[in-house]
Amino acid sequence: MSDLAGKHIVLGLSGGVACYKAAEFCRGLIKAGATVQVVMTEAAEHFITPVTMQALSGRPVYSSQWDAREGNNMPHINLSREADAIVIAPASADFMAKLLHGRADDLLSLLCLARPIERVPLILSPAMNREMYAHPATQRNLAQLRADGAVVLGVGAGEQACGETGDGRMLEPDELLQELIAHFQPKRLAGRHVLITAGPTYEAIDPVRGITNRSSGKMGFALARAAREAGAQVTLVAGPVALPTPRGVQRVDVASALDMQRAVQASADAVDVFIAAAAVADWRPASAAERKIKKDGSGDVPALAFVENPDILAGVAASPRAQQGALFCVGFAAESHDLLAHAQAKRERKGVPLLVGNIGPDTFGQDHNALLLVDASGSTELPRADKLSLARALVTEIARRLPR
């Protein structure tokens, strides 16, 4: 993974038990290709040692504004000028109050104040007890820090080190990493609302059996993450898959094709882009048995009658908003052979401006894929790559086609 290749991150630790998460976050930054300079407050050193952070970052840790290692004795200037971003994780209530008032009595607060605001973002990941987080003073401080240009991330909810339960937990290391990677992605879909379907559908035969397919949902979930990274508001309608929801994405879980159709219809009138990446079952049993169908030893096989499922994509593409160009529709075609011919035919049949084809058996359940983009002017290949990289490339193609 090299999402942060070439980026230099100043990772600041203020006092809090969540400092243990900063260690894993630092490892994640390094694995993502970034270089990391750790700066710690005196309070942070009570929770984790500079030796640990030096070993993980591969650089000496700074904690004093009087550090003599800097030739000009100005670490607050040098460190802030070298950074592509300053991330404070954990950001304690006290430290954020200090930032709000421009106090600079230690190295970390000093370099935050000295950073070039126009090119070095300040990203804060709060961590504190639930009562401290909910206190009006803290909430006022968070609001003012945002108004002053800082990026203030959300907090997690759950058990806290003090034994209480509620809001205020620092985000997990992988969540922090996703947020930072997203921060550096171009915001090609800023101000847009994107609706995405992902995964298989499940058509019940009886209470314990059903018809589904091998779609893992990974491509659709990668698209949801990529669209959110690009600045969009994202609604993800997901069939039965065991995948974590991408950061910042609103997820609606469904089972059958009819469930998915209802969920899509509930959102389609409010979105700018619809990406139908789900592998929707073409047929469903005409009726589902209320009880498990039992075999009786006779060798007779129960007869199943099927009816065709609605075409969700074609229905949305035929809507007045789509016909008028206010809603851009993208379809997916998972084929087993003759990909170009089938994708071209499906694009015309569905009435969509862009159809994305792939060979289903080569991608179901896999982390990599290869895509064929088909539109009115021809076709373009996106060669085999990891699904997130392909999702970002597809989002770029979609953004390019949207009306300004």
The reported pLDDT for the residue numbered 165 is: 93
The reported pLDDT for the residue numbered 79 is: 94
Domain final position from 124, 151, 184: 184
Answer yes or no: do 213 and 95 share one domain. no
Catalytic residue among 19, 112, 162, 329: 162
Q: State whether residue 252 is helix, strand or coil.
A: strand
What are 378's strand-pairing partners? 375
The answer to whether the Cα torsion of 257, 260, 266, 268 is positive or negative is negative
Answer yes or no: do 305 and 357 share one domain. yes
Distance (Å, whole) CA 316 – CA 138: 45
> Where residue 80 sits, what CATH number does that domain have?
3.40.50.1950
The reported pLDDT for the residue numbered 361 is: 66
Distance (Å, whole) CA 179 – CA 392: 15
Q: 85-91 and 122-126: which strand pairing?
A: parallel
In this structure, is residue 157 part of a structural domain? yes
CB burial of residue 68 (10 Å; 0-12, 13-18, 19+):
exposed
Distance (Å, whole) CA 312 – CA 97: 51
Answer yes or no: do 232 and 180 share one domain. no
Provide the CB-side half-sphere exposure for 241 (13 A, CA).
27
Question: Is 162 among the catalytic positions?
Answer: yes
Distance (Å, whole) CA 257 – CA 283: 9
Answer yes or no: do 126 and 208 share one domain. no
pLDDT by residue for the chain (404 residues), tens digit each? 689 999 999 999 999 999 999 999 999 999 999 999 999 999 999 999 999 999 999 999 999 998 888 878 899 999 999 999 999 999 999 999 999 999 999 999 999 999 999 999 999 999 999 999 999 999 999 999 999 999 999 999 999 998 999 999 999 999 999 999 999 999 999 999 999 999 999 999 999 999 999 899 999 999 999 999 999 999 999 999 999 999 999 999 999 999 999 999 999 999 999 999 999 999 999 999 999 999 888 888 888 999 999 999 999 999 999 999 999 999 998 877 888 898 999 999 999 999 999 876 667 778 888 999 999 999 999 999 999 999 999 999 999 999 88
Answer yes or no: do 37 and 57 share one domain. yes
Distance (Å, whole) CA 68 – CA 330: 58
Q: State whether residue 141 is helix, strand or coil.
A: helix
In this structure, is residue 21 part of a structural domain? yes
Domain final position from 184, 206, 241: 184
In the chain, the number of structural domains is 2
In this structure, is residue 284 part of a structural domain? yes
In this structure, is residue 174 part of a structural domain? yes
H helix runs in 251-311, sequence order: 257-267
Domain final position from 157, 184, 211: 184
Distance (Å, whole) CA 169 – CA 90: 10
In this structure, is residue 376 part of a structural domain? yes
Q: Phi and psi at residue 60, in whole multiples of 5°? A: -60, 140
Supply the range of the domain harboring residue 121.
Answer: 8-184
Answer yes or no: do 197 and 314 share one domain. yes
In this structure, is residue 2 part of a structural domain? no
Answer yes or no: do 121 and 208 share one domain. no
Name the nearest CA neighbour of 158 among 48, 18, 323.
Answer: 18
Name the nearest CA neighbour of 152 among 224, 191, 195, 99.
Answer: 99
The reported pLDDT for the residue numbered 1 is: 61
Answer yes or no: do 161 and 291 share one domain. no
Q: State whether residue 12 is helix, strand or coil.
A: strand
Answer yes or no: do 117 and 208 share one domain. no
Specify whether the CB–CB gap between 123 and 156 falls below 8 A: no
Answer yes or no: do 108 and 213 share one domain. no
Answer yes or no: do 216 and 346 share one domain. yes
In this structure, is residue 219 part of a structural domain? yes
Torsion angle of C-alpha atoms 131, 133, 139, 145, degrees rounded to 10: 160
> Where residue 241 sits, what CATH number does that domain have?
3.40.50.10300
Answer yes or no: do 137 and 214 share one domain. no
In this structure, is residue 1 part of a structural domain? no
Task: Give the list of residues 6+ apart from residue 215 with CB closer than 8 angstroms, or none.
Answer: 199, 200, 239, 241, 278, 279, 334, 360, 364
